[in-house]
Amino acid sequence: MAMTGKRRVLYRQGSGFWRMTARWALAFGALSLLDGGLLRSWGDAVVWPMIGVLLWVPFGIGVVWYPKKDQRVELTARELRVRRKRLPMEKVNLLHVARLWLEGRATADDQPVGEWARFDRVVWVPLRDGRAFGVEFRDPAAFAKVFGAFAVAACGGPDVVRARAAAETYPDPRPMRARPGEDAGSWLDVLDVFN
Per-residue HEC secondary structure of 22-89 comes to HHHHHHHHHHHHHHHHHHCCHHHHCHHHHHHHHHHHHHHHHHHHHHHHHHCEEEECCEEEECCEEEEH
Of 125, 122, 121, 123, nearest to 79 by C-alpha is 125
Give the bridge partners for 79, in sequence order: 88
Average pLDDT over residues 136-157: 88
Q: Is the dihedral of CA 91, 92, 93, 98 positive or negative?
A: negative
Q: Is the pLDDT of residue 39 over 50?
A: yes
* C-alpha to C-alpha distance for 125 and 133, rounded to whole angstroms: 5
Residue 114 · residue 71 · CB < 8 Å: no
Cα angle, residue 153 at apex, residues 147 and 158 outer, rounded to 5°: 105
Q: Is the pLDDT of residue 193 over 60?
A: no
Q: Is the pLDDT of residue 183 over 60?
A: no
91-107 burial, b at 16+ Cβ within 10 Å, e below that, comes to ebbbbbbbbbbeeeebb
Q: Is the pLDDT of residue 161 over 60?
A: yes
What is the pLDDT of the chain when averaged over all its residues? 77
* C-alpha to C-alpha distance for 125 and 173, rounded to whole angstroms: 9
- The pLDDT value recorded for residue 66 is 72
Q: How confident is the model at residue 182 (pLDDT cuts 50, 70, 90)?
A: very low
Average pLDDT over residues 69-81: 84
Residue type for position 176: M
Residue type for position 141: A
Q: Is the pLDDT of residue 190 over 50?
A: no
- The pLDDT value recorded for residue 70 is 66
- The pLDDT value recorded for residue 5 is 53
Average pLDDT over residues 33-40: 78
195 or 40, which is more confident?
A: 40
* Proportion of the chain above pLDDT 70, given as a percent: 83
- The pLDDT value recorded for residue 166 is 86
- The pLDDT value recorded for residue 177 is 61
Rg of the chain's alpha carbons, rounded to an integer?
Answer: 22
Average pLDDT over residues 35-45: 76
SS3 assignment, position 178: coil
Average pLDDT over residues 172-177: 73
Q: Is the pLDDT of residue 153 over 90?
A: yes
- The pLDDT value recorded for residue 109 is 63
Average pLDDT over residues 99-123: 75
* C-alpha to C-alpha distance for 142 and 48, rounded to whole angstroms: 37
Average pLDDT over residues 12-41: 82
